[in-house]
Amino acid sequence: MSLRFRDAAIIVLTGSLLGCGASRIKKLPVPQERVIEAYRLMGEADEMMKEGKDHLAVLKYVEATTLNPYHEAIFNKLAIAYCRTGRYWQGRKAAQRSIRLQPGYASGYNTLGIVALSNRKYKQAAGYFEKAIALDPKPSYYVNLGYGQMMRGRYEESRRAYLQAAHLDPEIFNTTSVSRLTYPDPMGMDSETNYNLARLFAEMGDQPQCLKYLGRALAAGFADQERLAADGVFDGFRQSQDFIELLNLYGLKAAGKGSR
């Protein structure tokens, strides 16, 4: 069967599985051999996602759901795969089904937040991330909440969420993207957003990450010398040669307010 034909068939096939209702789905027994095969297919799809083969991963996840239509994790991963291929409506429905299969499924609410982010519905996304955190306060959910609040212009709320993520897992920003853990924003971030991320990392004492986002802010047009000089969070870096050279590159000075 060709990929194009199979892809079209999947839309029909998953329509009945995803459904539109909001009630809890009663789980029925699934033969052991089908459960095992579904896990195998899910594993293959996971590897495809890592390799960037998102469309092929969708096919594998859907195959897995037909074998075991009562496993919330499969539908949750299918939702993310749908988002990465731009099919946000299907992604939302798959994530909703994961929650209907397992009410209180924090990962499902986190994925709904990712879907909302993908559609730039930042307020809605923040609500879903807060729900996920209330159910299971994972560091990654706080990072996603921080990003959602950042994109709303709620910088203080964003700062608190990011700091909480770092409190729960001090290595979180060394191993993952600061903006989002699961779905990259193709639009990028403006100078103000990048500047506030630079402030966050300065507050955490992380100079490399601070300079990374400050550099992005400057490249995006940030040029407020007075604000930069008055911002005390950067005081620990002002004598750093890397900090000085970065600002000089854009015609700005590293000295703080009151310095000669």
Residues 233 and 179 in one domain: no
Q: Which two tokens stand for residue 195?
A: 């500047």
Residue position matching structure tokens 């397992």? 102
The answer to whether residue 172 is domain-embedded is: yes
Residues 26 and 1 in one domain: yes
Residues 137 and 151 in one domain: yes
Residues 120 and 171 in one domain: yes
More confident residue, 136 or 192: 136
Q: Are 141 and 110 in contact (CB under 8 A)?
A: yes
Residues 87 and 47 in one domain: yes
Q: Which of 15-19, 35-39, 198-202, 243-247 has the lowest mean pLDDT?
A: 15-19
Percent of the chain with pLDDT over 90: 62
Helices (H), 26-121: 32-50, 54-67, 72-84, 88-101, 106-118
Q: What is the mean pLDDT of the chain?
A: 85
Tell me the per-residue pLDDT of 190-218, one tens digit each, with 9 for 90 and over: 888 889 889 989 998 889 989 998 999 99
The answer to whether residue 109 is domain-embedded is: no
Residues 200 and 182 in one domain: no
The answer to whether residue 52 is domain-embedded is: yes
Give yes or no for residue 53 having a pLDDT over 90.
Answer: yes
Which residue, of 103, 130, 153, is where some domain finishes?
103
Q: Are 180 and 129 in contact (CB under 8 A)?
A: no
Domain that holds residue 183: 114-188
Residues 85 and 178 in one domain: no
* Number of domains the chain is built from: 3
Which residue, of 43, 71, 103, is where some domain finishes?
103
Q: Which of 85-94, 118-127, 178-187 has the lowest mean pLDDT?
A: 178-187
More confident residue, 112 or 173: 112
Give yes or no for residue 189 having a pLDDT over 60.
Answer: yes
Q: Are 180 and 148 in contact (CB under 8 A)?
A: no
The answer to whether residue 108 is domain-embedded is: no
Give yes or no for residue 123 having a pLDDT over 90.
Answer: yes
- DSSP single-letter state for residue 204: T
| φ and ψ of 25, to 5 deg | -90, 125
The per-residue pLDDT for 23 is 82
Q: How far is 105 from 109, CA to CA, in rounded Å?
A: 7
Which residue, of 103, 123, 155, is where some domain finishes?
103
CATH for 69? 1.25.40.10
The answer to whether residue 73 is domain-embedded is: yes
The answer to whether residue 177 is domain-embedded is: yes
The per-residue pLDDT for 256 is 75
Binned at pLDDT 50, 70 and 90, residue 228 comes out as very high
The per-residue pLDDT for 180 is 47
